[in-house]
Amino acid sequence: MKINLLVQFLALIDELRGREETTAEFERLLTHYGFDYYGLIQAPKPVESPSSLLLAGRWPKGWPETYLRKRYMQVDPTVRYLGHAQAGFRWRDTLGAFRLSPHRKRMERMMVDARQNGLEDGYMLPVHGRRGLLGSLSLGGRPVELESVEIGLFDSIARQLYWKLLLAADPEAAARLSAIVDVELTRREMEALSLLAEGMTSHDIGRVLGISSHTVDWYMNGIQEKLGARNRHHAVAIAFRLGLVS
């Protein structure tokens, strides 16, 4: 294990100046660890292109274009697994979680295609914040065996690297994502929102809380207004992002 290198980088990262010096030192660390490629990426939204979310990265020639052209992001098992992960995980371990998925064949084809492009295996480190999943750090290339303590240290590096490079690239976005969540919901609104997030209808929520469905609708209107949501589905999505429900 090369734990000292990880500890040293964590101690050094705040002193590095600018994006170029930071990425150069990080890439030097990855070379020592045997990783050929990496990508530090912001969590995508449906209306955004994955290519616009890259904070830093180095991929095999032609792979990003292939990935986008074949729409692999829609079935990428590492990306889908990322939405549920609380800590770093290995690429090759993700397929097992989707044995019954109707997209299983495309997932397997994507993994084969990745290996043929030099991405034999790797690790994904999620970056979480007050508003949920913010992004991820992907490390790959030739297979590298990491101990659990090393994965934990790479998790810490992923968080610090994400915030440092996001601040350099987009200070306004960094300030917005790190801002304290200031949404004042009443106890009843929180109860109704939690039940809504479980898939209940107004009638179901009213029965559980002992109120009429009309009163539930009143609470829902207030919740949507406070969250700036277009509808109930949007309110639940915002609530998950803000950490109001889990």
CB-based contact 193:223 (threshold 8 Å): yes
Give me the chain's average pLDDT, please. 90
Domains of the chain: 3-178 (3.30.450.80), 187-242 (1.10.10.10)
Under the banding of pLDDT at 50, 70 and 90, the label for residue 127 is: very high
Packing angle between helix 18-33 and helix 148-169, nearest 10 degrees?
A: 160
Would you state the structure tokens that stand for residue 200, as one six-digit string?
A: 């209940």
pTM: 0.75
CB-based contact 58:27 (threshold 8 Å): yes
Q: What stretches of 131-212 show up as alpha helix (H) in DSSP?
A: 148-169, 171-178, 187-197, 202-209
According to the model, what pLDDT value does residue 51 have?
63
Q: Kindly report, residue by residue over 75-96, the tens digit of the pLDDT.
A: 999 999 987 888 999 999 999 9
Section 201-227 average pLDDT: 92
Q: Which of 58, 13, 14 is nearest to 40 (CA)?
A: 58
CB-based contact 235:196 (threshold 8 Å): yes
User: What is the rounded distance in angstroms from the CA atom of residue 159 to the CA atom of residue 164?
Assistant: 9
